[in-house]
Structure 1
């Protein structure tokens, strides 16, 4: 183990990436270790501690999935049942998909639904109902249960299913079934709950390197099931400990049967060339680190990023939260890797790309897109570069400021004939993906972070 303490490493790394505020927690040897550094905001700075609230983004999906599995345990929902059984008013652009997408397809991102609906559906109790109505125009990227493609819309649809089954709002159900029994006293959805406590704001770095406050602060209530929780590092570590346990709260009250908790960690679909993992369980991404199984989930908001990794067989967890984009991503990655190596002796390394190959490069150069972003690949000398941008019409339609686009990334192809690649520089360094071909062998799509972009030329 390194002689450097967690506190020393976190402080050094936060300065290296110039991040105003970070919070890190580790559960190891049956004890909690915390390292917090910096401030909540460059404009109105308050010191960060283990109870400061961060937006944890898509880590929220693990809460949504746990609630759903509770309903399965109670016999109120069946994983293999069509979603339309519970939401009969659901309308999708693809009518066949509407009738065949199952609950489990939503939980493991195999629904084939596009990423999401970019719309503010209000802050009222009908926010999710309104979100689901807007899904009628959502594209179907692939037939259900044929491939993994990460979908925010899918998890927001689960949130609406939870409302229909329980008769409560999604947020009330999470509070009564998870927050309260587990003692997560620093985890909230509502802005009124968050703003009366110490919370961070996101920051984005401009082209000249200066930081500015990220506005909008977070998306609207219709996105809560897929990414709406504001939580502290202490609560997130307590959440990780729950998933390391037997499904009971410290009081002894059962939150989820042990067999269901275990089922969430079992693979349901494989992932190809993904930094997210090798497979996906029930919301959790599964992978091996130096031969040892781990589960985890990341999250992002506008200028805020979170990473949660659990190693069940070592009774270990690490949580890293940061409040700057895009450098919060590599900061969190460095913290998680340092913790794995220094507490467990596990090495987590990226694969090395092959030298530039002109013929293979020409097969993939072009423009790709999904409903929200464009993905352009070109060559720079003897190297490959990709650029991911929000579509202009998405920015134009937004009634609030959206996160800035990232500078282009260098990337390289990985060994073998699998059409896999890895990003080698920038905020997304280490992220992996792959190209897909049609029956004639022509490249027709590219995946990045579990999201599919289709080739347009």
Structure 2
């Protein structure tokens, strides 16, 4: 395929983020006018120019340095391109290597389904039948089926096994061994809980049943049949030096950063290109590859996107895919990249997007771009919404300045404050100064607060800093300012009390 880069910027997407909806009315003036590529009747044509205008508009409006995109319709590749630049300053292109994060689960699931088609594995058989080393802390582990790994109803959860903040394994075998001390959060098949180690176990099963390393099996099972010659899988991004550093998005800019170490194999480790993703999308959107024989049959592809059977209320969970309406997709986030794929089998469209900016508090992610392109594919006219992250970070910057100013003022006023209050009860002095320690309390509780907000998902402190940098800057500034204020008040109050 031709290596192409994006064209000049246009406007930005209206499906931005859930948080963006709150601010949409106030920012409506930013979205006035018809978006590029719009037809006379208000719909938009799915053309390379329309794709370019939408993607570049979103990147520019949100301060994302670069992206790669693949858009297909039937067997036709509408657009494979790179936009912007990577962390070295080099242009992003259709063959730039990018990590696709949790989109990798779709690839792992397909490798498992190859074994199912071969008759080597049964989806509803216990995992231990094929992987005797798999154990959890109680006998419920013997009931976990292969299907339950793939649709996240195994009962395993971040709440009982913090997979990112705990000790990191070096291999799939080590990851499976770590689960031997883990108490399941629920009985198998009774609750949906998105948990990366489910796919590490699935990948280890592929290794053991297939008789060769997971990366080799993924190559022979999936990449080679589809002609995805520039794709691989790794356990840590440090094992893929060809992938440039991604970025942390903050204060309207992007800071190049190494991806914090965490175990990716099986769940999040695929590295690929826009060119290769186009081949993958054609397979899923049409049921067959552009040439040759696909990795699995059309019936198996459909089964992977069928409503889940494992847990009530989670009919939108397929095998390596999430279901929505007539389509299916799967997103992914690292702390320095995000990704999203969407396939629409009824219309034959496929869309994949990878941004080189990581998870953030403003909802700037590949999902928003992919959903906008899906709207474009369905004849809609997507618009770029308000710059939510810039607004959030602007608020955080003001809060940071206010915290520093309040702390400085409290230090300067400490002598007068002490003179007026120091002769009262100590308890009253403590209560009067306690509000200055609120940022410190919030900083100490940030990790559990973040876990609650992210529905129990685990992250280390270092990883959390990548997601909420401006929040951490505010809380650290407020904590230091508060400690300085309390310290100054205590020092002056002690002097006044000694002088009585």
Same fold (TM over 0.5): yes
Matching residue of 1:2: 44
Q: Deviations over 1:23-42 (max 9, x none)?
A: 1221126422134211110x
Q: Secondary structure at the match of 1:181?
A: helix
TM-score by length of 2: 0.64
What is the RMSD of the two structures over their aligned residues, measured on CA atoms? 3.2
Contact 1:279-1:287 within 8 A present in 2 as well: yes
Give the superposition deviation at 1:237. 2.2
Q: Does 1:259 align with 2:299?
A: yes
Matching residue of 2:61: 16
Structure-to-structure mapping, 1:13-412, within 5 angstroms: 13-28=58-73, 30-32=75-77, 33-41=79-87, 44-93=88-137, 95-115=138-158, 117-118=163-164, 119-122=167-170, 127-190=171-234, 194-195=240-241, 197=242, 199-206=243-250, 208-216=251-259, 219-220=262-263, 223-247=264-288, 249-269=289-309, 279-288=316-325, 293-326=326-359, 329-345=363-379, 374-375=448-449, 394-395=460-461, 404-406=466-468
C-alpha change, 1:314 and 1:401, in structure 2 (3 Å) is: closer
Matching residue of 1:361: none
C-alpha change, 1:178 and 1:404, in structure 2 (3 Å) is: same
Contact 1:111-1:145 within 8 A present in 2 as well: yes
C-alpha change, 1:296 and 1:389, in structure 2 (3 Å) is: closer
Q: Secondary structure at the match of 2:226?
A: coil
Give the superposition deviation at 1:8. 1.4
C-alpha change, 1:211 and 1:241, in structure 2 (3 Å) is: same
Give the superposition deviation at 1:9. 1.5
Question: As a proportion of its length, which structure holds more strand?
Answer: 1
Contact 1:54-1:232 within 8 A present in 2 as well: yes
Contact 1:279-1:285 within 8 A present in 2 as well: yes
- Structure 1: 5+ residue runs without aligned partners? 350-371, 378-384, 410-457
State the distance in 1 between where 2:201 and 2:276 align: 25
C-alpha change, 1:391 and 1:72, in structure 2 (3 Å) is: closer
TM-score by length of 1: 0.70
Matched length: 355
Bigger relative contact order, structure 1 or 2 (CA pairs below 8 A, ≥6 apart): 2
Which of structures 1 and 2 has the bigger CA Rg? Answer: 2
Contact 1:188-1:194 within 8 A present in 2 as well: no
Q: Deviations over 1:320-378 (max 9, x none)?
A: 110112359534233223222222136999xxxxxxxxxxxxxxxxxxxxxx962479x
State the distance in 1 between where 2:316 and 2:249 align: 33
Q: Secondary structure at the match of 1:227?
A: coil
State the distance in 2 between where 1:50 and 1:82 align: 41
Contact 2:123-2:147 within 8 A present in 1 as well: yes
State the distance in 2 between where 1:89 and 1:270 align: 23
C-alpha change, 1:271 and 1:329, in structure 2 (3 Å) is: farther
State the distance in 1 between where 2:363 and 2:330 align: 13
Q: Deviations over 1:2-59 (max 9, x none)?
A: 3772111211110111011111221126422134211110xx2110011111110011
Contact 1:270-1:280 within 8 A present in 2 as well: no
